[in-house]
Amino acid sequence: MEIHALQDLNMAGVRWELTETPVKHDYKRPPVQQTFQTNRPGSEKPSIIPPSAPINLDTVKSMVLRPTDINSLIRMIGEFNHPLRNGATNVVLPNIATEPNGLLIITDLPSTDDDLSGQILSGNAGEMTDKMLSAIGMSRKNVSIIPLLFWRTPGGRSPSREELDLSLPFVNKIIEMLSPRVIITFGTMATTEITKSNLSDVHGSEIISDNGSIVVPMYHPNYLILKPSAKKDVWVALQNVQKLLKNS
C-alpha cells in the first residue's frame, strides 16, 4: 500500500498498531498475560479495539485534495469516519447528474426518509423537488443535488459548528469539480452557509459566488408542503433559474 493511502486511512480515523520501534521480549520468562478493560461495566466480551484518532478540519482539507474525479470523491465521502456516521442509518450521498445542464442544488440536512433510503431529498420533499424540476423541464438526471451534511443528526437536531465544518470541505470540492453555472440553495441553513445571508432577505435573488456561479436561494420543499402559498414565489425564482441557464 502506498504511503499516501496509509495517510488517508489515518486521517479518516484509523489507528495503526504498527510501530518502527522493535518490541523486545524476554524469552527467559513466560509472557505476562494481558488483560483488557471492557467498554461497559459487566460486559462479558473484552474490547481490544483502540479508539479512533481525532479528526480535525485540517485533516479533512488535506483529504479532499486527493481525489481527481467525482467518483473517487464520492467514495471518500462514503468511507469517511465523520462523528455522525455511527448514529446514522446510511450515508446520504449526493445525486450526481448523468446529463448535467449546469444546475446544482445544495440542500439542508438529511431527513428521516433520506437517512433510511440513503438518497438525498426523498419522501415527500423528494416528490416536491421532482415537481419543481419538472416544471422547468428538468429532472435529477440533469441536476446534481448535494446536502450540507451526508449523515443525519440524532433526532434531526441542528448540527454543531464542528459537525458542519467537517463536512463542508467535501461540499466545496464537489462544487469545484462540477463548476455549475447556477446553484439553488434549498432552505435556511444551506442559504446561510453558501451565501452568508438570511433566506428571508435574499429569496429568489441572484448572488455571485466566489467561484463565479450564480446562487439563487429558495425555500426548502418541506416549507412549500407546509405553506403552499409560498409556491408562487418559488415559481418566479424557478423561471428565473431557467432563463439564467439558457443565457449563461
Beta-bridged to residue 184, according to DSSP, are: 105, 216
Helix (H, G, I), strand (E, B) or coil at 105: strand
The pLDDT of residue 54 is: 62
Question: For cell 432577505, what's the residue?
Answer: 201
Q: Tell me which long-range contacts 131-134 makes (C-beta under 8 A, separation of at least 24).
A: 132/221, 132/234, 132/238
pTM of the model: 0.78
> How many Cβ atoms are within 10 Å of 10's Cβ, its own excluded?
13
Per-residue confidence (pLDDT) for residue 17, from 0 to 100 = 37
Helix (H, G, I), strand (E, B) or coil at 208: strand
Q: Can you give the pLDDT of all 248 residues of the chain as single tens digits? A: 555 444 444 444 443 333 334 444 443 444 444 433 434 444 444 433 334 456 889 999 999 999 999 999 999 999 999 999 999 999 999 999 999 999 999 999 999 999 999 999 999 999 999 999 999 999 999 999 999 999 999 999 999 999 999 999 999 999 999 999 999 999 999 999 999 999 999 999 999 998 899 999 999 999 999 999 999 999 999 999 999 999 87
Which domains are assigned to the chain? 69-247 (3.40.470.10)
CA atoms within 13 A on the CB side of 38: 7
C-alpha cell at 231: 409556491
Range list of β-strands (E), 23-116: 103-107
Beta-carbon contacts of 185 under 8 Å, excluding residues fewer than 6 positions away, are: 105, 106, 107, 191, 194, 195, 199, 215, 216, 217, 218
